[in-house]
Amino acid sequence: TAAVLTWTLFCLHNNPDAADRIRAEVDEVLGDRTVTIADMKNLKFTTRVINEAMRLYPQPPVLIRRALQDDKFGEIIVEKGSDIFISVWNLHRSPKLWDEPDKFKPERFGPLDGPIPNEITTDFSYLPFGGGRRKCIGDQF
């Protein structure tokens, strides 16, 4: 959580227009009161900014899984017990998957009223929490 917040603030520092837009959204949704968990559903641009920060600076940048059985991926044979490293950093910055992959663009995930990006809605091109049964519990925060 600390790393996500740090990178989000870093992105906002380098993108003052996004920071201004978040400030306006927070003022509109909250006014003078303290934020509650129920408010998150109405802080849609703020959520997209956090999503984009996690795309650019995934924590962790690499996922490690162990093969439970022999398998084949294309021409690559994966033996049971082999460790498989998935570079989330490279996945999230692939020009084959993302337009201007190194640029901070919170709107890249579609309309604010659309689904919150995750591994399913992005066809596994966005894995800030991994996926499947070993998915990070932090996704629920």
11 annotated binding-site participant: no
Taking the CA of residue 53 as centre, how many other CA atoms within 13 Å lie in the half-sphere pointing to its CB? 23
Q: Compute φ and ψ for 102, nearest 5 degrees.
A: -95, 0
Sign of CA dihedral 129, 135, 140, 141: negative
Sign of CA dihedral 121, 44, 101, 1: negative
Q: Compute φ and ψ for 117, nearest 5 degrees.
A: -60, 135
Hey, what are 5's tokens? 């917040």
Q: For residues 106 and 34, give the distance between their C-alpha atoms in angstroms, rounded to a whole number.
A: 25
Binding site feature residues for heme: 136
Binding site feature residues: 136
